């Protein structure tokens, strides 16, 4: 019997990086062995392994909890009366903390999603949360409901790349409930009109009954994500800074003590405000020097009952407090 000839398929640079990364992290091969197996130089093998990590082709989770991180978790829990704290090892000065924190946040979300009992899980938005979702494996979670806390529409009609609700749905196949409205409404009348729509009423009601909430924490400096991404006008940013805003959670600004700031009809956040509750586990996922004051305010005001962060941020929070 003639053996069927397979078609020639030209490998791409990412294919080569994925193979090198797989051989290194899963196959436990040395770079010399990878070079021989792939017929390339050792230097190229090293570059391909590095590319596999940089392109997120290979995802690594740390199963062993470092003693220093455990000590910081215990200190954060006691200092801020948290229900839970998770501290990821820092990657060093100047390295984006998303790379360290996102896998740990993803593992916590995966643990919650694996719960057989039905849960309502509310989600904020943001770069850190989006990165955490990207770390999730494919799961089948029809027992849960995933609901967004916040809209995703800027004044010019554009949407943020860091929205997470649809990506969570893709990963989990869980029923999901987006919030199709502006992050900040132009007027109270516009906000009330959106809130009167039946799909948004149902989503808001579901969000108010969430069992677990995952949120990012935004800072309110001149590089505030709300401003940079076009959701907040410069004059509004200045007004909030003058009123003492240090951070925001799903668009709602708060001061250093975690008290929400109300600018009346001049500033109309359209999403669901996260409020302290003994019935809901509210997990803030945030890290980085620029966010220290914002995270500290959120914890002092008990806007979050749990925190996932990195070593450097945890140490800074404890030294300030």
**pLDDT tens digits, one per residue of 112-152:** 999 999 999 999 998 999 999 998 999 999 999 999 999 88
Residue 62 within any structural domain of the chain: no
- Same-domain check for residues 114 and 163: yes
Across the chain, the runs of DSSP E, i.e. the strands, are 84-88, 120-123, 145-148, 176-177, 184-185, 212-215, 218-219, 247-249, 252-254, 268-269, 281-285, 306-310
Same domain, yes or no, for 39 and 178? no
Q: What is the pLDDT of the chain when averaged over all its residues? A: 88
Domain hosting residue 228, numbered range: 67-320
Q: What is the mean pLDDT of residues 286-305?
A: 96
Q: Are residues 142 and 105 in the same domain?
A: yes
Q: Do both 127 and 191 map to the same domain?
A: yes
Please tell me the predicted confidence (pLDDT) of residue 38: 86
- The winner for highest mean pLDDT among 10-19, 93-102, 246-255 is 246-255
Give the CB-side neighbour count of residue 130, counting CA atoms within 13 A.
Answer: 9
Task: Give the domain CATH number at 158.
Answer: 3.40.50.1360
Domain total in the chain: 2
Task: Say yes or no: 85 and 161 in one domain.
Answer: yes
Answer yes or no: do 84 and 45 share one domain: no
Within-domain flag for 8: no
CATH number of the domain where residue 30 is located: 1.10.10
- 141 and 243 belong to one structural domain: yes
CA angle 231, 237, 242 (to 5 degrees): 160
Q: Could you report the per-residue pLDDT of 216-230, keeping only the tens digit for each? A: 999 999 999 999 988
Binning pLDDT at 50, 70 and 90, where does residue 3 land?
very low
pLDDT greater than 80 at residue 90: yes
The gap from C-alpha 141 to its chain's centroid, in whole angstroms, comes to 19
- CB contact set of 11 (below 8 Å; sequence gap of 6+): 19
Identify the CA nearest to 127 among candidates 173, 155, 160.
160
d(CA 120, CA 289): 32
| 8 Å CB contact between 107 and 131 | no
Q: Is residue 4 domain-resident?
A: no
In this structure, are 49 and 148 located in the same domain?
A: no
Q: Has residue 9 got a pLDDT over 60?
A: no
């Amino acid at each position: 019997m003639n053996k069927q000839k397979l078609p020639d398929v030209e490998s791409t640079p990412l294919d080569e990086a994925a193979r090198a990364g797989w051989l290194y992290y899963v196959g436990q091969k040395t770079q010399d062995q990878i070079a021989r197996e792939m017929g390339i130089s050792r230097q190229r093998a090293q570059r391909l392994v590095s590319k596999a990590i940089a392109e997120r082709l290979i995802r690594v989770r740390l199963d062993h909890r470092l003693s220093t991180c455990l000590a910081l978790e215990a200190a954060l829990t006691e200092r801020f009366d948290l229900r839970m704290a998770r501290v990821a090892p820092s990657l060093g000065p100047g390295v984006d903390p998303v790379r360290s924190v996102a896998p740990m946040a993803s593992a916590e979300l995966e643990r919650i999603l694996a719960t057989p009992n039905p849960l309502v899980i509310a989600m904020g938005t943001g770069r850190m949360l989006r990165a955490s979702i990207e770390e999730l494996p494919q799961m089948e979670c029809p027992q849960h409901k995933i609901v967004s806390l916040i809209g995703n529409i800027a004044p010019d009609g554009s949407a943020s790349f860091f929205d997470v609700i649809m990506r969570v749905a893709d990963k989990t196949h869980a029923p999901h409930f987006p919030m199709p409205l502006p992050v900040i409404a132009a007027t109270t009348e516009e906000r009330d009109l959106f809130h009167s729509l039946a799909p948004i009423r149902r989503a808001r009601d579901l969000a108010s009954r969430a069992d677990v909430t995952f949120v990012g924490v935004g800072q309110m400096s001149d590089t505030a994500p709300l401003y940079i991404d076009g959701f907040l006008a410069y004059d509004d940013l200045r007004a909030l800074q003058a009123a003492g805003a240090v951070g925001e959670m799903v668009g709602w600004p708060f001061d250093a003590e975690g008290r929400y700031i109300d600018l009346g009809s001049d500033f109309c956040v359209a999403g669901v405000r996260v409020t302290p509750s003994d019935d809901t586990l509210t997990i803030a996922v945030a890290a980085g020097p620029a966010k220290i004051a914002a995270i500290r305010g959120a914890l002092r005001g008990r806007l979050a009952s749990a925190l996932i962060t990195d070593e450097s941020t945890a140490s800074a929070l404890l030294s300030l407090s």
